[in-house]
């Protein structure tokens, strides 16, 4: 007895199909590599930002632990983390809502991210308010350093013109406690404070 022979032929992939599959595979692989690269860069930037935050926080803690607060500017490089620089600034500023002068500390740290851009982490803390006497002491010290000469006004008429008020208003401000220098000169910053606060700082 003879049996019929059946040959089962399987169709093979054509060259076009193979090339198309390879192109799709290459595209998928490229996309995966881009995603991985972005994840690595993001993780590195997050680590750098945390390190910069730690440097700024440590400097702020040192500043808050200091018994004295005086106007200074300090800067340097982190001994703990390579490539991170820091700056600590203590400055006075006028706060118009409360019409008071304050001392604040600003601690910042800078680093270069994975894209080559400079990034900054900054912490700010209001340290203390200034009394009128302390404010005058600061102004007097700056004057001794030669930085306040242009801020002094010699006569009450000039002070009134600078503040945009009349002489009687300046006299009321003096009665209300506005301070002048030992020689009776008016300080522009003092006049600004009283002008902004309506004569009641």
Cα–Cα distance for residue pair 188/172, rounded to 1 Å = 17
Query: How many whole angstroms separate alpha carbon 113 and alpha carbon 51?
Result: 12
How many CA atoms within 13 Å lie on the side-chain side of 135? 22
Q: What is the pLDDT along the chain (201 residues), one digit of tens a residue?
A: 454 545 555 555 566 666 676 677 767 766 666 666 677 667 788 888 899 999 999 999 998 888 877 788 999 999 988 889 999 999 887 776 666 778 889 999 999 888 888 999 999 988 877 666 666 666 666 655 555 556 788 888 988 898 889 999 989 888 888 888 777 888 888 888 888 877 776
What pTM was computed for the model?
0.52
Structure-token match 């270069």, residue found = 112
* 139, 146 Cβ separation under 8 angstroms: no
pLDDT for 26-68, tens place per residue?
677 666 666 666 776 677 888 888 999 999 999 999 988 888 7
- The β-bridge relationship of strands 152-153 and 118-129 is unpaired
Query: Under DSSP, is residue 200 helix (H, G, I), strand (E, B) or coil?
Result: coil
What domains lie within the chain, and their CATH numbers?
Answer: 39-130 (3.30.1300), 133-196 (no CATH)
* Distances 92 to 19, 20, 32, 48, 127 between C-alpha atoms, Å: 70, 68, 52, 31, 10
């Amino acid at each position: 007895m003879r049996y019929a022979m059946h040959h089962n032929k399987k169709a093979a992939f054509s060259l076009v199909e193979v090339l198309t599959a390879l192109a799709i595979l290459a595209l998928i692989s490229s996309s995966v590599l881009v995603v991985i690269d972005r994840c690595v860069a993001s993780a590195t930037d997050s680590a750098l930002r945390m390190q910069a935050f730690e440097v700024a926080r440590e400097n702020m803690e040192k500043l808050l632990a200091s018994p004295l607060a005086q106007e200074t500017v300090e800067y340097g490089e982190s001994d703990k983390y390579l490539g991170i620089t820091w700056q600590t600034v203590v400055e006075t500023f006028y706060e118009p809502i409360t019409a008071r002068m304050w001392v604040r500390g600003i601690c910042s740290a800078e680093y270069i991210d994975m894209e080559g851009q400079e990034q900054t982490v900054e912490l700010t803390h209001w340290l203390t308010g200034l009394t009128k006497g302390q404010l005058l002491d600061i102004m007097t010290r700056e004057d001794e350093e030669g930085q306040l000469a242009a801020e002094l006004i010699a006569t009450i008429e000039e002070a009134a013109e600078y503040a945009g008020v009349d002489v009687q208003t300046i006299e009321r401000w003096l009665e209300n406690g506005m301070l002048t220098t030992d020689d009776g000169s008016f300080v522009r910053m003092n006049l600004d404070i009283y002008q902004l606060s309506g004569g009641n700082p």
